[in-house]
A and B are shown apart, each in its own frame.
Chain A
């Protein structure tokens, strides 16, 4: 569980990036943090594994204040995947790259081998095991970065812009992968601009603006709230756009799920056929 209490954060140049944030993230939550560029999203998530410590206020991870412990100790429970995989790849082979963190955390060799095999298999990277990560494509490098964090099986996974540079198939894989983590009761926190991806995943959405949280709720309410969307310059998902225009027919405007949408339209069509 992560508890954030009235956190402020300023960078060295006296610009306040976070202006009083309070939040509770329960075990097993799936959260999407959205908002404009410069809203403070990345600054905020860097507090979860202690990379940044609040200027004032407290962040508790599993009831331990982040100021009282090290990044390495926090990272054991909170895995953080950076936006750009090139900021972390350095090993000669994909296998070594994935084993890097496991070695840092002091796992024994048998466990390391087992975890690496599992993580590579999970993200369909097994055929690249002995290849240099620098030879892989952008999307594959991103998956190696993800595997290298997933390998130590952290309770909480923080993903910064996971869908950038991924084709549709990879996004679908990513979605299924997150759902799988959900069944294992893992907490997943992702920062994203990808409205359609959020609509498909249907997580709890936290909307940030100008260093503050302006909304916190289920995706379907927030992604169809005109005022909030305009304030954060977010375009509503396509399904919601259609349903906003269909509201004169009596269809609910806060629809973002494709299956739900299909059922409602079919029901409506049957009703009007009967009349």
Chain B
């Protein structure tokens, strides 16, 4: 469940927490696009390093590191798949270039995880909902989205209880071959899904009985306004996008490959 820990918001104050969620989201998307533009390892490492100042400014290193550790398994999986397919399609041979390519793919995944993790660690679900609403998204969608985000830690806790309940009935998750291990998760997933559905139905009834959606035109107590920090982030985002697109279009072939040095 450590991946979820890396996405769980904790209330605190820092320059990053105070940024406008809309701008932060645009920034994350910019990093996302940049990461997709490159497959070489060097630019991806640079993109990774760019995230670090945000992490330290927001003082969320601990949780952020935990999300990284949680993603390690998936990252390893991506690396293994890449290595294997290269190995398979190159007539059972492997070059240093293939290894670098696989590392690049893994790094791309890590960059995506860390940037989203910083976003979710520093943006409260309330702010997120506010941002969606004030970007003229219908309130129903904004509400559904924030509720989904808010329920992630609740479901994670519930999954833990379900695991305990099934272990108490002799279920051993770590037993058997890979197929058996996947099947072992059926007794965890079904109660989790059933209770999520039941919970959402109950929530819907409780909301309707409290006149949810009775007023068509909603007003907000808090209004999002751009501050100095937000303009700085807009600047950084624009610079990042222009630079990466420029490098991609005109300097792509000049990006050095680490494997060439061997």
Contact = CB atoms under 8 A, between A and B. Distances in A.
Nearest to B191: A90
Contacts of B195: 86-87
Contact of A71 (B167, B187, B190, B194): B167
Contacts of A100: 169, 171, 187
A87 B186 contact: no
B164 A90 contact: no
Contacts, number: 63
Given A87-B158, A87-B195, A90-B187, A51 B170 contact: no
Interface residues of A, number: 25
Interface residues of B, number: 19
Interface in A78-106: 79-80, 82, 84, 86-90, 100-101, 104-105
Interface in A30-83: 46, 49, 51, 70-72, 75-76, 79-80, 82
A224 interface: no
Contact of A82 (B161, B171, B186, B190): B161
Contacts of A148: 169
Interface in B173-187: 186-187
Nearest to A92: B190
B69 interface: no
A175 B24 CA distance: 59
- Shortest 5 CB-CB contacts between residues of A and residues of B: A104-B170, A90-B190, A101-B169, A80-B168, A88-B165
Given A89-B194, A104-B169, 6 more contacts: A71-B168, A82-B164, A86-B198, A100-B187, A101-B169, A134-B194
14 contacts: A70-B172, A72-B172, A75-B168, A75-B169, A76-B170, A79-B168, A82-B161, A82-B164, A86-B198, A87-B195, A90-B190, A104-B172, A105-B170, A152-B170
